[in-house]
Amino acid sequence: MFKYSFKYILLLIVTVVFFTKLELRYSFGDYKEYLILLFNISSMVFTLMGIWIAFLYPNALKRLVNPKVIENADFSETLNETKRLESIVGSVLKSALVVVGILFIFFFKVVLSSFDFYLEYLVFWKILALSLAVVMTFMQLESVFHVIKSNIMFINDLHRKREEKEADHDI
């Protein structure tokens, strides 16, 4: 977990330094539109991966509803299944963090804009906001790629199982 946090913090620092060197001029309206797009993508990934978890791992969902009834799923036999579930859950968590980040950005914009120090340090706030958007974009791109990878793995498993059934049927 620390490895991922370090990666995002490092990216934030690098983008703050990079954007400080540039003289960026962008409107809050443009930034807001981008955050809304990022929010929609995050919501889509969150929803799709939540459905995947419910479909592929129904016992995990049953355990959430009634923790006393179902035992934990045992993935000790198949490392591939464990990695797939980690990838799916990781995508859901990253998408949720992006949504929370966007909510905080909008909240702090509303609250901070009423203070004098917001206007005094407007350039800093804009650089920080844009840098946060870069980090959240990176997180969301990772999630989207995990969605793509999970779907490819699922299709490959379907083809493999179909071929195994056809081979068994031919014997």
H or E element at residue 111:
helix 79-112
> Which pLDDT does position 54 carry in this prediction?
80
Helical pair 28-56 and 79-112, crossing angle rounded to 10 deg:
150
pLDDT reading at 85 higher than 90: no
The Cβ of residue 56 has, within 10 Å, a number of other Cβ atoms equal to: 15
> Which pLDDT does position 52 carry in this prediction?
78
Prediction pTM value: 0.79
Least confident of 31-35, 61-65, 111-115, 159-163: 61-65
The Cβ of residue 23 has, within 10 Å, a number of other Cβ atoms equal to: 7
Distances (CA, A) of 93 to 10, 18, 49, 124, 167: 20, 28, 10, 29, 40
The domain locations on the chain are 2-170
Which residue is associated with the tokens 């004098």? 116
> Which tokens is 48 given?
């799709």
Find out whether 84 and 28 touch, Cβ atoms under 8 Å: no
Q: What is the pLDDT of residues 25-49, one digit of tens each?
A: 888 899 999 999 999 999 998 888 8
Q: What is the pLDDT of residues 114-136, one digit of tens each?
A: 999 999 999 999 999 999 999 99
